[in-house]
Amino acid sequence: MSRIVIVSNRTPGKGPAAGGLAVALRKVLSEREGFWFGWSGKLTDQPAPEARFEDIDGLTVAQIDLTRDDHHAYYAGFSNSILWPSFHLRLDLATIESHWYEGYRRVNQQFARALLALLKPDDIVWVHDYHLIPLASELRNLGARNRIGFYLHIPFPTPDALYAIPHHEELMRDLSRYDLVGMQAKRDVSAFTEFAEHQASSTFGGHRAKTVDFSRTEVDAFPIGSDPEAFARLAVSPAATKMIHRMRRAMGSQRLILGVDRLDYSKGLPQRVEAYEKLLTNNARLRRSVHLLQVAPPSRDSIKEYQETSDALDAICGRVMGKFAEPDWQPLTYVKRAYGQPSLAGLYRLARVALVTPLRDGMNLVAHEFIGAQDPADPGVLVLSRFAGAAEIFPEALLVNPFDTDETAEALRIALDMPQDERQQRWQALMAAARKHNVDDWALGFLARLAPGMQDKSTTRDILYLASVA
């Protein structure tokens, strides 16, 4: 049977804190031969050209080191100061330094050279995310003929935003060297199709550039999911219950409104707190009876726009505290640190409302995990941004425009006032959708499409079915 090779910028770490994606792909690799390939997390002056193999909790991982300069240009530079803001339609937050592209390309070439040395001709290669768009091109330039798939974990940009990215044509040509490109949502496939069908050829420098030929690349939506059953179990585990008791002691009978997000400008955190401020302004009866907990672990904090987002959030949380706090009541708690999945499952279980309001998001797995963790008899309500990929899967959430803080404030009020039977009905539909879009089926569905002949006989029928409904 062919081996599976998973490639991503970060590789899974040691210990139990792995996210749903790492757990699902671990499972894929435990059922067939293969390995995970990526950056080691180490920066050195003279990285060795070959990868080092390591066993990480039973998973075979091959890693390479990078130089500090290359890593800066590739990760903080081209990936996170150009691609990330542009793909999230925040061109105002993009910083364009042309030399970053060379570093981005160099790192992809380094990945390709080290990976090629490990590849067998029939290995199936599955590349993840925007850091590695050129990897198939670089592998193919070195002679690789393998089936290579790419999965984008963030939204695909509209054509205008794409045209604003330096070297966008080369990047799109890079995408055309994959056999299969997977996106989060139908919205992303539509944006891609719009670009592919109406490519504006560049006349820069007097040459009409050739348009990109996508005829050999399949592009489709493969909405990622979580493991809702695992979250249901985790939410009643001793660690989750400990967190619930701790919170109940602190909050008494107040109802919890919960946000859990990396501290990233795409998550709409200041707008969310502003909506909460409007909720308290418009509904004096709710003061002292609700509490907003925003968990926001810092992220990419070497980048100026991330520091500014953090400052903006500090300022608005301070404003809401100053306006509403009393000596014996605080309207909100804002925690800038990460929690493990068991503690988060406890928080999700306790929350009356989850506020998942990114300005734009690939899927948003917090929405999936919150649904999985609910008590079926007394579930909480999901207030969800219509600009998260999850909105396509969860129409029974209260869908809001996160830029419209009046609308979000009103959705919060409706969520807090929602009768139990309506909460149950909505949750049942949401849980059915979360089960249907679980992460195991997502991984099998993608691989079945990338390499239809690779499964052993016992699983082929199931996998083909999954591919047909993906």
Phi, psi of 51 (to 5 degrees): -80, 155
Residue 10 contacts ligand F6P per CB under 6 A: yes
Buried b / exposed e along 73-101 (16+ C-beta atoms within 10 A): bbbbbbbbbbbbbbbbbbeebbeeeeebb
Strands (DSSP E) along 75-135, which ranges? 124-128
Residue type, 185: A
Write the CA distances from 310 to 235, 298, 300, integer angstroms.
29, 8, 11
The H helix count followed by the E strand count for the chain is 18, 14
Catalytic-role residue among 69, 153, 220, 440: 153
Residue whose token pair is 């002056």: 45
Strand partners, 295: 260, 335
d(CA 17, CA 20): 10
Strand partners, 381: 353
Q: Looking at beta carbons only, is 56 or 416 nearer to ligand F6P?
A: 56
Q: Looking at beta carbons only, is 80 or 176 nearer to ligand F6P?
A: 80
Residue 246 contacts ligand F6P per CB under 6 A: no
Residue whose token pair is 């080369």: 170
H or E element: which one contains 350? Answer: helix 341-350
DSSP for 53-64, written as a single string: EEEETTEEEEEE
Catalytic-role residue among 179, 261, 361, 441: 361
CB of 130 to ligand F6P, least distance (A): 7
Question: Do residues 443 and 467 touch, judged by C-beta distance below 8 A?
Answer: no
Burial class, 210, CB count within 10 angstroms (exposed 0-12 / middle 13-18 / buried 19+): exposed
Collapsing DSSP states into helix, strand and coil, what is residue 201? coil
Q: Is 361 a catalytic residue?
A: yes
Phi, psi of 107 (to 5 degrees): -65, -40
Q: Looking at beta carbons only, is 320 or 359 nearer to ligand F6P?
A: 359
Please select the residue that binds ligand F6P; options are 106, 113, 153, 255, rule is CB under 6 A. Answer: 153
Burial class, 69, CB count within 10 angstroms (exposed 0-12 / middle 13-18 / buried 19+): middle
Q: Looking at beta carbons only, is 299 or 333 nearer to ligand F6P?
A: 299
**Which stretches of 364-456 are DSSP H helices?**
365-372, 405-417, 420-436, 439-450
CB of 288 to ligand F6P, least distance (A): 36
Residue 154 contacts ligand F6P per CB under 6 A: yes
Subset of 344-383 contacting ligand F6P (CB under 6 A): 362
Q: Looking at beta carbons only, is 227 or 274 nearer to ligand F6P?
A: 227
Q: At a CB cut-off of 8 Å and minimum separation 6, what does 396 contact?
A: 425, 426, 429, 430, 433
CB of 446 to ligand F6P, least distance (A): 15
CB of 225 to ligand F6P, least distance (A): 14
Q: Looking at beta carbons only, is 138 or 261 nearer to ligand F6P?
A: 261
CB of 152 to ligand F6P, least distance (A): 9
Q: Looking at beta carbons only, is 375 or 440 nearer to ligand F6P?
A: 440
CB of 264 to ligand F6P, least distance (A): 8
Subset of 102-131 contacting ligand F6P (CB under 6 A): 129
Q: Looking at beta carbons only, is 154 or 443 nearer to ligand F6P?
A: 154
Please select the residue that binds ligand F6P; options are 300, 352, 360, 437, rule is CB under 6 A. Answer: 300
Pick the closest to residue 175 from 198, 201, 200, 196 (CA basis).
196
CB of 300 to ligand F6P, least distance (A): 5
CB count within 10 Å of CB 13 equals 12
Q: Looking at beta carbons only, is 123 or 129 nearer to ligand F6P?
A: 129
Q: Is 167 a catalytic residue?
A: no
CB of 269 to ligand F6P, least distance (A): 15
d(CA 394, CA 381): 12
Collapsing DSSP states into helix, strand and coil, what is residue 200? coil
Residue 90 contacts ligand F6P per CB under 6 A: no
Collapsing DSSP states into helix, strand and coil, what is residue 326? strand
Please select the residue that binds ligand F6P; options are 299, 330, 401, 460, rule is CB under 6 A. Answer: 299
CB of 103 to ligand F6P, least distance (A): 16
* Shortest-Cβ-distance residue relative to ligand F6P: 153
Question: For binding to ligand F6P (CB under 6 A), which residues are involved?
Answer: 10, 129, 153-154, 299-300, 362
Active site residues: 153, 361
